[in-house]
Amino acid sequence: MQKLLSTKKMLLGYVLLALLVLQPTSFFGQKRSSSNKSNSMNINNKNGKSTIQFNDNGKNFKIEYEGEIKVSNDDKDIIAISKGGFIDITKSSFGNKRRVVIESDRSGNLIRKYYEGRTEKEYNPDGKSWLAEILPEIVRSTTIGAESRVERFFNNGGASAVLNEIQKMDSDYVKAAYFKLLLGHNLSTNELTSLLDKAGSEIESDHYLSSILKENQKAFLANSQTISAYINASKSIKSDHYITSVLKTVINDSSINDSQMESLLDISKSVESDHYLTQILTEVMDHRDLNAQNIAKIIGLSKAIESDHYKTQVLKKVIQSKGMPQNAYDAFLATLNDVKSDHYISLIISELFENKYDASTNSLNGILDIIERNIESGHYASTIYKKMAKNNDLSESQLIAVLNATTKINSGHYLSETLIAFSSQVKRSSEKVKSAYRAAAKSINSDTYYGRAVKAID
């Protein structure tokens, strides 16, 4: 009984194996599992001639062609090739080989040949029948006849007919080619929106999707409806590299206005890499004169940058930009709370004092709070205070606030250096300021450094 069951299992295994072997496969699907090494497609374009080689479990296709090829309305025949062009299709399957060659002479007349093995046969009916059998899948799996097919579908059913045909294709390479050909037509806002929606959902390759989004940006970004569709399509891009390449193209397009730019900057929210996000934000500031809203937007986006190094690059650019708005100043200071490194905070605040320091008391208090909360190093705190001391516009109340804040420096050496940096202003000020200076000096635990600080105002 046990032997009988074993025999039945063995027979069932053979049946399943046979079914798998006999299962039909697609000759031209370009989406292949990388683990299946028996399936491969190679496309080469050189000197105007294109070569496509495809292997699928012992079935080999090779297609060579040159020139513009036009296929029939049912996609089963080739009806025209530009003068001097040709197409050569060869299929080999387990030792059997068939081939069709169609050439266009100088007058544009087609010369057709059909081969079985190495033997030339009459083209009609076998050659024509074989071409009709394989050509529909060829044209959906390659860009052969793409221009004439897009024209045909567009003339018969508009952009929606082309988009419906694209949905029937497997290859992102081919889909992208058809999308770009469709963009050569004067499309309405609704058609452009549909195209962007389809591109975002149909194309898996970041490379090909980004190439479409960079193809006709002027049309894509013409109004709020297409901009929204453009942003949504961009969200389908997974690679920070390709998102950055799309945004860089937008940034360098002088026809994109500030209002459009503000919306498009939202695309950068999906960028996870500090490196690429920094590239985008600094590129915007390098190549465009931004309005106050966009500068505020960049400040907000910089909060997503975790690296102190990269965040500092962006914030220093913000400080150096022409359009940093007054109402974004508080947001800018708040962003500094995310910087963990004493070194980088000191670089940013020092840059602020050299370029766009807001002399208001609220701003000063904000900076003093940042120094107190975030900077532990006496060296870096002293560096910032000495930069501050070069600003001679401090009121007496502000000067007293600064002097009181310096007492948080726990190094006698750095505290004395800091106080001495303010000594010339203190000497010109009231006794109330001088008292605040002396009180701060008393925090110095070294007689030598204390003496130097007090001597500076006497």
Mean pLDDT (10-residue bins), the chain, 458 residues: 42 37 35 42 83 75 92 95 94 86 93 94 95 92 92 96 95 94 95 96 96 90 91 94 92 82 87 95 87 85 94 91 70 86 92 74 86 93 92 86 94 96 94 96 95 94
Can you name the residues that pair with 53 across neighbouring β-strands? 42, 62
Task: Name the residue with tokens 């030598």.
Answer: 448
* DSSP-assigned letter for residue 185: S
Sequence-separated contacts (24+) of 99-102 with Cβ below 8 Å:
100/127, 100/130, 100/131, 102/78
Q: Write down the pLDDT at residue 28.
A: 38
Q: Do the Cβ atoms of 296 and 325 come closer than 8 Å?
A: yes
Residue 86 structure tokens: 């040709």
Q: Write down the pLDDT at residue 322.
A: 65
Q: Write down the pLDDT at residue 236.
A: 94
Q: Write down the pLDDT at residue 345.
A: 93
* DSSP-assigned letter for residue 143: -
Tell me the CA end-to-end span of the chain in Å, nearest whole number.
113
Q: Write down the pLDDT at residue 58.
A: 62
Can you name the residues that pair with 121 across neighbouring β-strands? 114
Residue 243 to residues 178, 395, 413, 447, Cα–Cα distance (Å)? 22, 48, 50, 60
Residue 18 structure tokens: 């046979």
Residue 45 to residues 32, 210, 367, 450, Cα–Cα distance (Å)? 21, 21, 61, 79
Task: Name the residue with tokens 């409806």.
Answer: 225
Dist. CA 162–CA 165, nearest whole Å: 5
Residue 447 to residues 27, 381, 414, 440, 441, Cα–Cα distance (Å)? 89, 21, 14, 14, 10
Q: What is the per-residue DSSP string for 344-363? A: HHHHHHHHHHHH----SHHH
Q: What's the pTM value of the predicted model, to 2 decimals?
A: 0.75
Q: Write down the pLDDT at residue 26.
A: 36
Dist. CA 182–CA 420, nearest whole Å: 71
Which distant-in-sequence residues (6+ apart) come within 8 Å of 445 by Cβ? Answer: 412
3-state secondary structure of 325: coil
Residue in 314, 292, 320 with CA at minimum distance from that of residue 301: 314
Which distant-in-sequence residues (6+ apart) come within 8 Å of 60 by Cβ? Answer: 53, 54, 90, 91, 92, 93
Dist. CA 17–CA 6, nearest whole Å: 17
Dist. CA 309–CA 277, nearest whole Å: 13
Which distant-in-sequence residues (6+ apart) come within 8 Å of 107 by Cβ? Answer: 83
Residue in 306, 304, 266 with CA at minimum distance from that of residue 284: 266
Dist. CA 235–CA 233, nearest whole Å: 5
3-state secondary structure of 121: strand
Q: Write down the pLDDT at residue 59.
A: 65
Half-sphere exposure in the Cβ direction for 145 (13 Å, CA): 22
